[in-house]
Structure 1
Amino acid sequence: MVGENVRLGSACRIGAFVLLHPGTRLGHRCRVDAHVEIGKEPMKATRSTLVVPPDLPPPSLGNDILVGSGAVIYQGARIADRVMIADGATVREGVSIGAETIIGRGVLIEQACQIGKGCKIESGAYITAFSTIEEGCFIAPMVAFSNDRHLGRTKRRLREFQGPILRKGARIGVNATILPGIEIGEDALVAAGAVVTRDVPPRTIVVGVPARIHGAVPEEAWLENQSRGEDA
C-alpha cells in the first residue's frame, strides 16, 4: 500500500505487503522487502512517559538503501545513503542514521538517537532513546543500552533521561550493558559481558562487572588505521 505524496526514486524494488505512509521519501535503487512499514505513527500508552513531538515529518531514506522483511521505520527517521536495515529491525521516530551503517536483524533503535556513518550494530542489540553513536562504532549482538537511572520511579527521571554516548570508533562486545549517560571514549573497547557504570577513557579496554580498565587498545586497532572496507 502506497500513501499519498510518496516519492520513490528510480529503480526501486518494493516487496509484497509493504506499507509506505503518506509523504515517505525513498531515493534511487532502494530495495524494500516484504511486510515492511515505513512512516509508522508513534503510539502512546496511557501510563507512558513518552513525549511524542508534534508534526513529525515523514521519513526520508537516501539512495541504495536495503530494508529487510518485517522492518519498521517510524515518522521523522532520516536515513542516509547505502544503509542496510535487516529483517525485523525497528527504527523509531526522530532517529538519524549516517551513510553506510548496518543495522542488524532484530535491532531496536528507540526514539531520538543519532547514529553516525559507517557503524555496525549487530543482531538483537537494544539502543535506548536519546543515545548518540558517532561514526565507525561497532556494537556486537545483544548489547543493551539504558537511559533511566531511576528505574521508572520519581519525577526526576523525566528530566534526566540520557542514553549512552559512543565516541568515534568505539567498540562494544557481545552482551555488554551500558548504563545511562555513560560516555565511551574514542576507539575504546568494552569487553563481552561487561557492565559499564562509569565513563571509559579513549583507547582504553574495560572488562568485567562492573567494568574496570584492563589496558590500552593497540594502535593497529584504532579506527584511523583501518582501510576502507575493513571491519571497524
Structure 2
Amino acid sequence: MQTLNKGNNVVIGDNVKLGENVTIGNNVVIYNGVEVGDYCIIQDNVVIGKQPTRAKASILPDSKELPPTIIGKGVTIGTSSIVYANAVISDEVFIADLATVRERVTIGARTIVGRGAAVENDCTVGSNCKLETNCYITAYSEIGNYVFIAPCVVTTNDNFMARSKERYDKFKGVTIKDGGRIGANSTILPGKVIEEDGAVAAGSTVTKDVNKEEIVVGSPARRLREVPSDQLLRNQ
C-alpha cells in the first residue's frame, strides 16, 4: 500500500509517479511526468523536473521540451535543491541542500552530491562518488566510479573564455576515470583527463592529462610521485 507523507504548498504535476513511502517536504514542486522511486525523501523547497531556460545571449541552441526526470529508490534530495528535466538519478543517491543537477545528467547509485555543488548539463557521474561542498562539474564532463572531488574544485570546458566563434564546436568537459581524486580548490582545465586512480593535490591547476596512479601537485600541476599502493582503489 502506498504511503505518501506530504508537507504544505506542494505542487505535483500531471502523470507524476510516486513510489511507496515517499516523504515530501513543504513548498516542493514536481513537474509533469516525473518518476520518484520508493522510500525517497524530498525536503523543503525542492524543484524536480524543471525545464531549462535559455538566455538570449546564449550560444547554445534552444531545446525543445525535455523528457521527465527519473529518480530511483531510496534517494534523498536536500532543501532547496533543483533537479532539471531529463536527469536520471540512480538508487540511494544523496543530493545535499542547495545543490543543482542540470538537464541530461546521469548520476550513478550511492553517489553523494554535496551542499551547493553544481553538476552542469550533459554530464555522466558514476556510482559511489563523492562530489563535495561547492564543487563545480562543468558541462559535458564524464566522471567514473568511486571518484572523490573535494570542496570548491572547479572544472572548465571553454579554452577560449567566451571569445571568438571558433569555440562554438570545441567545448569539452573533463574526464575523471574510476578512482580519480581531486583535492580542495583545484582547477581542471578543459578537456583534461585524469586516468584511473590519478590524484590531484589541493590547490593545483591541471593543464595536462594526469597519468594512471600518479599524484600531481602545483600550478601548473606536475608529477610528484606514484599513488601509494594502499591508497589504490583495487586495494580497498
Normalised to the residue count of structure 1, the TM-score between the two structures is 0.96
Q: What per-residue deviation string (whole Å, max 9, x for no partner) do you get for residues 119-169 of structure 1?
A: 000000000000000001000000000000011011121100001100100
Matched with 1:137 is 147
User: Is the contact between residue 28 and residue 47 of structure 2 (CA under 8 Å) also seen in structure 1?
Assistant: yes
User: Is the contact between residue 102 and residue 120 of structure 1 (CA under 8 Å) also seen in structure 2?
Assistant: yes
TM-aligned CA deviation for residue 51 of structure 1: 3.0
Matches within 5 A, 1:1-232: 1-226=11-236
Secondary structure of 2:223's aligned partner: strand
User: Is the contact between residue 42 and residue 52 of structure 1 (CA under 8 Å) also seen in structure 2?
Assistant: no
Q: C-alpha distance in 2, partners of 1:45/1:53?
A: 12
User: Is the contact between residue 51 and residue 65 of structure 2 (CA under 8 Å) also seen in structure 1?
Assistant: no
Q: What per-residue deviation string (whole Å, max 9, x for no partner) do you get for residues 17-75 of structure 1?
A: 00000001000000000000001110111101223543411000000000000000000
Which residue identity is paired with 1:97?
I
Instruction: Give the % identical residues.
Output: 46
Secondary structure of 1:82's aligned partner: coil
- Give the direction of change, closer, same or farther, for the CA distance of 1:52–1:133 in structure 2 (3 Å limit): farther
Compute the RMSD of aligned alpha carbons: 0.7
Q: What per-residue deviation string (whole Å, max 9, x for no partner) do you get for residues 150-197 of structure 1?
A: 110111211000011001000000000000000001001000000000
Secondary structure of 1:156's aligned partner: helix
Q: C-alpha distance in 2, partners of 1:155/1:96?
A: 29
Instruction: Extract unaligned runs of 5+ from structure 1.
Output: 227-232
Which residue identity is paired with 2:152?
M
Runs of at least 4 residues of structure 1 off by over 2 A? 50-55
User: Is the contact between residue 144 and residue 176 of structure 2 (CA under 8 Å) also seen in structure 1?
Assistant: yes
Secondary structure of 2:12's aligned partner: coil
Instruction: Extract unaligned runs of 5+ from structure 2.
Output: 1-10
Normalised to the residue count of structure 2, the TM-score between the two structures is 0.94
